[in-house]
């Protein structure tokens, strides 16, 4: 560590977004300590469902092949069911190694982590969708009760920083809640889907959406119900392609 780095370390120390360990100043604004780099299951390293982003089994099956899709996406595709979103990309798996830092961010206790989370989301999008050019970035709108409880909109901040990292315009308030619904974390998978049916609308006119390629940012993807309904609202106005992105995705056993 050189002299300038020592000064920056003590005056502007960074903290690992996942575990909170102090780290030397980073010019990129991304702070992930070496231990978390090893422990956190980053989707770029492992296997994730190419449609919904859910982490797949790290170990191959007995015949040596890995699953191409998660069970739910495989079943839907086999039944000819098309989702409203075109795909979801998550930067990492939501598990015991990543959840602590993400929950702190969601509760407004580590706002500085937004730059790290946006950075790894942007890196995954650039790596996995190099040929996709997004017209704008939108954020999943929060419940009003949550804003009153926590005091900030974590998806808005995350979307703004992700858009900046990608060099894509961010349209604040592009999506809105048509109704509040119940808190998703208190519901089962089927209840989540029913709770969010028709829950989102877009404030933008069809002329601003028709034929557009749109990136929608959420914090954590669980069942995919939130992204499905956000994408449905955008597709109803003529969006050509809707990709969801999140810090982390839960495995199917958590849905």
pLDDT band at 190 (very low <50, low <70, confident <90, very high): low
pLDDT band at 178 (very low <50, low <70, confident <90, very high): confident
How much is the pLDDT for 145? 78
pLDDT band at 255 (very low <50, low <70, confident <90, very high): very low
Average pLDDT along the chain: 85
- Please state whether 234 falls in left (phi above 0), alpha (psi between -120 and 50) or beta: alpha
Percent of the chain past pLDDT 90, that is, above it, reads 62
How much is the pLDDT for 191? 59
Q: Which residue matches tokens 């597709």?
A: 235
Three-class secondary structure of residue 249 per DSSP: strand
**CA-derived radius of gyration, the chain:** 18
Mean pLDDT confidence for 183-198:
57
How much is the pLDDT for 152? 86
For the record, the structure tokens of 57 come out as 């089994």
Angle at 14 between CA 11 and CA 16, to 5 degrees: 160
**Does residue 225 register a pLDDT over 50?**
yes
- CATH code matching the domain that covers 42-254, chosen among 3.30.830.10, 1.10.520.10, 1.20.1250.20, 3.40.50.2020: 3.40.50.2020
- pTM comes to 0.86
Q: Give the chain's length.
A: 255
CA-based nearest residue to 35, from 109, 111, 97, 120: 97
Three-class secondary structure of residue 42 per DSSP: strand
**Does residue 43 register a pLDDT over 50?**
yes
**Does residue 10 register a pLDDT over 60?**
no
Mean pLDDT confidence for 208-231:
95
Per residue in 160-173, pLDDT (tens digit) is 999 999 999 999 99
Structure-model confidence comparison of residues 216 and 6, the more confident one: 216
How much is the pLDDT for 69? 84
Domain boundaries, the chain: 42-254
How much is the pLDDT for 161? 97
How much is the pLDDT for 149? 83
């Amino acid at each position: 560590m050189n002299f300038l780095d020592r000064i920056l370390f003590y005056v502007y120390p960074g903290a690992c977004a996942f575990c909170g360990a102090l780290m030397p100043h980073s010019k990129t604004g991304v702070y992930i300590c070496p231990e978390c780099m090893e422990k956190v299951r980053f989707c770029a390293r492992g296997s994730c469902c190419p449609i919904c982003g859910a982490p797949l089994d790290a170990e191959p099956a007995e015949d040596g092949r890995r699953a191409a899709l998660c069970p739910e996406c495989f079943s839907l595709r086999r039944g000819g069911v098309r989702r409203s979103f075109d795909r979801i990309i998550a930067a990492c798996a939501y598990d015991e190694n990543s959840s602590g830092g993400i929950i702190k961010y969601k509760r407004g206790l580590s706002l500085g982590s937004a730059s790290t989370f946006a950075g790894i989301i942007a890196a995954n999008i650039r790596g996995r969708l190099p040929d996709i050019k997004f017209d704008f970035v939108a954020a999943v709108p929060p419940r009003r009760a949550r804003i009153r409880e926590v005091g900030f909109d974590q998806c808005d901040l995350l979307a703004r920083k992700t858009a900046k990292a990608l060099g894509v315009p961010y349209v604040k308030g592009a999506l809105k809640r048509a109704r509040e619904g119940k808190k998703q974390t208190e519901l089962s998978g089927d209840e989540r889907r029913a709770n969010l049916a028709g829950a989102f609308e877009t404030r933008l006119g069809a002329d601003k959406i028709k034929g557009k390629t749109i990136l929608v940012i959420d914090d954590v993807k669980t069942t995919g119900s939130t992204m499905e309904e956000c994408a449905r609202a955008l597709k109803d106005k003529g969006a050509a392609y809707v990709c969801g992105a999140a810090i982390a995705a839960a495995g199917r056993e958590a849905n």
